[in-house]
Structure 1
Amino acid sequence: MASPPAMGRPLSTAEGFMCGGIAACIAVTVSNPAEVAKTRLQLQGELAKSGVEKVYKNAFDAMGKTYKNEGIRGMQRGLGPAYAYQILLNGSRLGFYEPFRRNINKFIGRRPEEQLGSTAIIAGATSGAVGASLGNPLFLIKARMQAYSPALPVGAQHHYKSSFHALSTIFRAEGLRGLVRGIDAAILRTSMGSSVQLPSYNLTKNFLVSRDILPANSAWTFLASSAVSGVCVCIVMQPADTALTRVYNQPTVVGPNGQLVGTLYKNPIDCLWKTAKAEGFRGWYKGSTAHFMRIAPHTIITLTANDLIINLYKRIRDNDSS
């Protein structure tokens, strides 16, 4: 994690990956119901002009109807692959961020520990792209499982019995190409989010600590910094997040080359263009309330828990080694 406490030796990349993965799994348990609602709202009225009857009125209506018709199981659809994805994504994003940032600083002739906005953004985007690439197959099946509703379906419906069934079904039908479908959209989404998540978190924390507003190792410092970061991430990442959901969930047909291709979008940029053309730019921000309800607590819990876990881990590790 960026700006770890100064006691003992710094965390290794593997230790940072482990702490980040645990923190993200705690967060996703809380945020997954809002993620289900967001996914369904993003698919509702896809490429349709105004006047289409809405299945879900808003984020609260989506969660309420999902619980009423599908119970807790419906609200937690895709939780299994979400755990695995978060370990890969946030383990990479939180574990690789600091090594990337320090090495970029050294490459441009600056001190590794120096906090620079430009290198922080580059490190955040790069570490996010690594995590998104590793976790793409899991995000793909998570999005499809969350979109599926036996009661109130919106968008294309993919019914999988389990994560393993989803992965095997896609692989049998499309091969490895199917499992990396939408990876360009995933990298775009996560790079945009990661480029502001950790830099905004660290800059806010440094501001609070350097001006003696809050102490460095206070949970309130972590909480306040995480809240600011969550707002920044939601604003920047929402259009790419909508494109990712739609690219992942679109139906496929056999193309002229014999390979399965999406029927609606060629790539995320094509998706954003077609969405704006059919639904206006507001279409990019469908489900933004649900997205904020997911990203705010998810970011707060992930980053706060990550710092708390790092503090605890370093105390145990350094005491054992002393």
Structure 2
Amino acid sequence: MKAAVLYQPGGAENFVLENRPIPTPNADQVLVRVKAFGLNRSELMTRKGLSPNVGLPRVLGIECVVELDPAGKLKPGQKVAAFMGGMGRDFDGSYAEYAVLPQSLLYPFESHLSWEQLGAIPEMFQTVYGSLHLALKIKPDETLLIRGGTSSIGMLATQLAKRSGLTVLATTRKPDKRELLSGNGADHLLIDDGSLAEKVRAIYPDGVEKVLELVGASTLRDSLHCTAPGGTVCMTGMLSEQWSVADFAPMEYIPATVHLTIYDSGQIRVDQQSFQQFIRDVEAGAIRLSISKSFRLSEIVEAHQFMESNSAGGKLVVLTGN
């Protein structure tokens, strides 16, 4: 099988596309045939050597959609999604034609969507649904600030929040992406220069009720100050590639009565029924997948370079077939 292997951290050119034997599963694992996978910023950080405790060489990839190998433990041809749970970090992940995965990670599903569309869904859906409903516990008529609105997570979060009856403020650093945000349903568009609190309070003097922080530690303090008393900030993304907050002093950093939480799909997973229903909603046209571009496995270097350029206005997907 072909696999993209990272032997040393650094630039995208460090990926080596090589032939490897198809792995053999043990009693708790399943051999799957990878059909497509989405790219994630966490993989970019791992490639750069910024993810702690990841040993190399490693096949990266924290998510995939697959077709079960006929020798597998579920019925041949069953479509399955897998994500997180140590994929691409503790053990080899989805940047390959085959993978051996713990059976506990597999989400069987039914769908007639293309592999490109399906490849965009697993981690994106889990992260958005979990952030909005499990961490932020959104309610109709609330106000939600999405910081990092043109990311794939931000684009889907806007749609799901609007479907739940919220008013959405979405941000971008690039004025030429205003139309992308408005076409995706955002009610208010903000240009993010690193300081949003004054702009947000010009619209909502008391602040917004909920904030989905996708930029990360570099803007977290400002996002907290965009939030109304009793409101909640969920830090989900790290687009800034910054893991920690230096000299964190909670009493000074967090405004009184404002709540701070995170969402991590590796810790808390969305139920399989909600995952299947989301796929049905996409099939029915109720939700639009924002797919920026697709690549082949042989183009993994170019795919990572494109992700790092911040040119995408949606999810990047890699297909393993011809």
Normalising TM by the smaller chain, what interval?
A: under 0.3
Structure with bigger helix share is: 1
**TM-score with structure 2 length normalisation?**
0.25
Pick 1 or 2: higher relative contact order, CA cutoff 8 A, min separation 6.
Answer: 1
**TM-score with structure 1 length normalisation?**
0.25
Structure with bigger strand share is: 2
